[in-house]
Amino acid sequence: MKFKKLLASACTALLIGLGLSVVAMSPASAHDGVLTGTAQCEADGTYTVTWTYNQTNTPDGMETDVKVVASSPSGSSFNLAHGIWLNAWAEHAGNYPGVATQTGNYTTQFKQVGIIGTATTATVRVQIDYHNGPNSGYAEGSVSLDGKCTPPLTSVTPPAPVWVDECGPNNGYWSYTDTDQYSYNALPTGEITVSPKPGYVFPEGTTTWLQETDSNELCPLGPANPVAVIDADCGTATVALTNPGENILTASYVVNVDGKFYQAYAVEQGKQEVVNLTFGEDTGIHKVEVFQAETSAWKSIAKADVKSDCIPPQPKDKVVVTETTPEVDCENEVGEELPTTITTVTTPYVWDGEAYVLDTANAETVETEGTYVVTEDDIADLDCPVVVPPTEEPPVTVPPTDTTVPTVPAQVVSAAVAPVLAATGVSAAPIFWLTGGAFAVAIGALGIVLGLRRRQVHNEG
């Protein structure tokens, strides 16, 4: 047993010396897991720790939720499903696709990446929740780091900056170009320094600091009427410096931007110098001013304000409203209300870098119910058949008449026709009824005539 402890101590010391890993673990109970880890320095100057988690003393088939609940140092992350999950109950796995659902005792590995190269310790704490089992438990792991994980440096030599000191007061400046390997820092005192960026180193003996002083040399007189024209546009300005050539002297100009020296220019006889200025978007109003050098002072000969807010106001959303027209047929009536659908499409505008365009991807469509009232023109256009209602004829009044028919004895008729019927052999019954009916009609007509005659006589009397 002592030999094993000595061997473990020796291995721990060896790992620390190699800058790899030392693991400390503290299981909370007999059922909880054990965390161990090993560290590796990556080429990008960060550590990666590979953690091994062993779920122990857990009955076969028992489900466990295992997730990372704490870690250090800050800024590191894990290659786990949803960032923290090592294992899950079967009923939880649906909420976390890709998470393992092992049961009982098992072993799994995961990585902690992006650990800063100066870190000296990496820790992880996981929480274990049992399904229908013991209370929640925890397992912790700790790995010691040497804090010296840095990427290999690339040697680079920066070019020396150039001091530019043209005629004019306080206008000396350093000319240089920054790169992704080194950067310069020029100070108003005339000092300049250069420093390597991360991943780079300067060779031994490289000059990293210089200083110069402005000569403040006066510039020669310019022409009697030098010309400076500033054409200001949104975000830009063009400054035209012209020497009309009235004498042989060189025209000297100084351009200031926002009250500070920008550049000095010497324009030869009969020539022109054009200066193009560009300003960042939404950086305010910039003041550009041109001075001409004189014997004892600088004379302002042109100035202008340059706006940098170049994006016009966003137009109001475009709103298009359409309404469906229902189909009218001969079953409908004038004034009848029919349902319609009103569609309102609202489309915003978006800036595409040059102009506002309709943002159709974010258009919003809203449908509401409306009402359409049937008009006379709607019905007239259908050419429906015209329905004429029936008319009722006025009643006709007939004056009453005397319809009394004199009765003729049947025996008279029988006696008259009996000899004829006997000779022909025809039965007398039908003949009787026929002749009787005709006789009755004749008697009725005679009665009507007599009645009319009687009324006429009565009227005349």
pLDDT over 90 percentage in the chain: 42
What pLDDT, on the 0 to 100 scale, is given for residue 165? 92
Length of the chain: 461
Q: What is the pLDDT of residue 450?
A: 54
Instruction: Give the pLDDT band of residue 26 (cuts 50, 70, 90).
Output: very low
**pLDDT for residue 231:** 92
Class of domain 2-144: mainly beta
What integer pLDDT is reported at residue 22 of this predicted model?
43
| DSSP string over 147-209 | S---PPPEE--PPPPEEE--SSTT--EEE----SSEEEEE-TTSEEEEEEPTTEEPPTT---E
- Give the distance, in angstroms, between the CA of residue 319 and the centroid of all CA atoms in the same chain: 18
Task: Give the mean pLDDT of 110-131.
Answer: 95
pTM: 0.35
Average pLDDT over residues 126-130: 94
- Which of 69-73, 226-230, 268-272, 291-295 has the highest mean predicted lDDT (pLDDT)? 69-73
pLDDT at 41 over 50: yes
The model's confidence at residue 323, banded by pLDDT at 50, 70 and 90, is: confident
Give CA–CA dist 141/70, Å, rounded. Answer: 11
User: Measuring CA to CA, how many Å separate 207 from each of 74, 136, 160?
Assistant: 38, 62, 8
In a 3-state reduction of DSSP, which class is residue 412? helix
Query: For the residues 97-126, what does the mean pLDDT come to?
Result: 94
H helical segments located in 173-324 = none
Q: What mean pLDDT comes out for the span 269-286?
A: 87
Q: In Å, how far are 105, 125, 139, 293, 418 from 64, measured between CA atoms?
A: 10, 16, 13, 84, 133
358-369 pLDDT, tens digit per residue, is 999 999 999 998
Asked if the model's pLDDT at residue 319 lies above 90, the reply is: yes
Predicted pLDDT at 298: 79
Count other C-beta atoms under 10 Å from residue 126's C-beta: 25
Domain ranges of the chain: 2-144, 154-211, 227-307, 318-380, 410-452
338-352 mean pLDDT = 90
Mean pLDDT of 373-388: 78
The CATH number given to 227-307 is 2.60.40.2950
pLDDT band at 429 (very low <50, low <70, confident <90, very high): very low
Which of 351, 348, 324 shows the shortest CA–CA distance to 338? 324
* Residue 185 exposure: Cα atoms within 13 Å on the Cβ side: 7
Question: Please, which pLDDT band fits residue 352 given cuts at 50, 70 and 90?
Answer: confident
Q: For the residues 82-87, what does the mean pLDDT come to?
A: 90
pLDDT of residue 389: 65
- Average of per-residue pLDDT across 436-446: 53
* Candidate from 65-74, 376-385, 406-415 with smallest mean pLDDT: 406-415
Mean local confidence (pLDDT), 403-412: 51
Most confident residue range from 30-44, 102-116, 259-273: 102-116
**Identical topology for domains 2-144 and 227-307:** yes
